[in-house]
Structures are given as structure tokens and as C-alpha cells.
Amino acid sequence: MSAKVKTAVVTGAARGIGAGVARRLAEDGLQVAVVDLDEDACASTVDTIRATGGTAVAIGADVSHEASVLAAVERVVTELGAPTVLVNNAGITRDNLLFKMSVDDWDSVMGVHLRGSFLMTRAIQQHMVDAGWGRIVNLSSTSALGNRGQANYAAAKAGMQGFTKTLALELGRFGVTANAIAPGFIATEMTEATAARLGMSFEEFKTAALPAIAVNRVGEPADIAHLASFFISEGAGFISGQVVYAAGGPRA
């Protein structure tokens, strides 16, 4: 595999952490399929990558729908080549205290994070096995340790950790590693929306978070992209099934 340009799929890459990861992997020399719900929304990530000499394509897909995932992976194979790197990053929140949480809030969050990661990984793993090399990075969260108002999201993010460890066990013999990143507070539209829901400005929300963050700043997508880049690197082949909390301290 070493001389061939590798193809990566990054889900939820129109913005936020996914966009940061996609840009970083392109800088690392990978071709990137920028996958998100709305294909047009992927344009800014794709344009940024192309402007710096990288290769990227925009692909609209809903990771929670099997047919959509299969069609997306087929397009990746046709337009870029067989993918051997997958970053399961697409995510949503539907926060509420348990007694007010609807079945739809529960199912939607499970659908994007768990079902979505399952469908994408199942569709792409054969390409990794065929190549005898692969890298899977899944986005968990410090919320996996429990977070008030996030029973659905915390359960999904804890589930991502079990999913990751099982992928590591099943696919390791084929040269494939699987690791999870559990970010703390990262400044993106997701955390901005949480601030709005709590009736705070984003600046107030970020400042309020600082006392719990040892390095005294909130994270940026580039902080997570750096770790993803490491997990995907050639030299990280002996690291698999791990969960790294990237939260500016022992945990958020």
C-alpha cells in the first residue's frame, strides 16, 4: 500500500470537527471523500482542500440509511478509488432530561452515531481487508462517561467505544486498526447550538467551561484532527482498540 495514494472517507465533514479532519488528512497526502447529509454543504471543505493542491470530492449521504451509505461508498470507489481510511464523525445531539426525551430523540441519535458508523464501516471494511491495510477512527465523546441531559448521546458515545474495540479485534489480522477519539469541549456549530439552547452566548458558554479544562482553553477541530492524523499514520499500526480522551486534561 505504501506508494499508492490512500483514499479516506470522513463523514459529517461539511463543517466542524469533520471538516478539520478532512483538511488535515488532505494535508497528510490522502484523497478525501467529504461526506455529509447535504452535498452542497460539503463545498467549502472540498474547495479549501483543492485550493491547497489536495484531492477531494463532495458526496451527499445519510449515514443512517443503508442504501444511501452503499451508494456513497460506490461513488468513492469510482471517483477516488477504494477507501482504506474511515473516520466515523457524523453526529447530532437531541438533548433532553430523560423524562422529557422522546423516542424519536433517542432513535435519531442512535441512528446517526451507532447505526451510521456500523453501516459505513461494514460497507468499507472489505476494501481495507482486500488491501491488507486500513485505519478506522470513531468519534466518541467525554459524554460517554455520563452527561446530564444526554442519555441518548452518552449511550451512543459509550457504544462507539465498544464498537471500536470489537472492530480492532475482528479486523486486526487484516492490517486494520480501529481507535476512538473522545473529545471534550470543541468549538463547533454543535457546541454553539448547545449554548443557544441554554440561553447563553457562545462566548459566555466557552468561558463558563474553562474551570473544568486543565489547559484553560476550549478545543478546536484542529486538536482532534491532529489525533486522527496520528491514528491514521503508517507508524500507528500497533495501536488499536484504544480510546483517547482529547479534552484538555485528564477528562472534561
User: Active-site residues: which are they?
Assistant: 153
Q: Binding marks (x or -) toward ligand NAP, 202..221, rule CB under 6 A?
A: --------------------
Amino acid at 29: G
Rounded distance between C-alpha atoms, residue 31 and residue 56, angstroms: 6
| The binder of ligand NAP chosen from 188, 223, 232, 240 (CB under 6 A) | 188
Shortest Cβ 2–ligand NAP spacing (Å)? 30
In the range 22-51, which residues lie near ligand NAP by CB under 6 A?
36-38
Measured CA angle at 126 (ends 59, 132), to 5 deg? 115
Name the DSSP letter for residue 90. -
Q: Which of 226, 80, 241, 230 is nearest to 176 (CA)?
A: 241
3-state helix, strand and coil shares in percent for the chain, rounded to the nearest 5: 55, 15, 30
Q: In the range 87-106, which residues lie near ligand NAP by CB under 6 A? A: 89-92
Choose, by CB under 6 A, the member of 71, 101, 190, 222 that binds ligand NAP.
Answer: 190
Q: Does 171 participate in binding ligand NAP (rule CB under 6 A)?
A: no
Residue 42 contacts residue 22 (beta carbons within 8 Å): no
Binding residues for ligand NAP restricted to 136-165, rule: CB under 6 A: 139, 141
Residue 191 within binding range of ligand NAP, rule CB under 6 A: yes
Q: Is 34 exposed, middle or buried (0-12, 13-18, 19+ CB in 10 A)?
A: buried
Q: Among residues 92 and 168, whose Cβ is nearest to ligand NAP?
A: 92
Contacts with ligand NAP, residue ranges (CB under 6 A): 11-12, 14-18, 36-38, 62-64, 89-92, 112, 116, 139, 141, 183, 185-186, 188-191
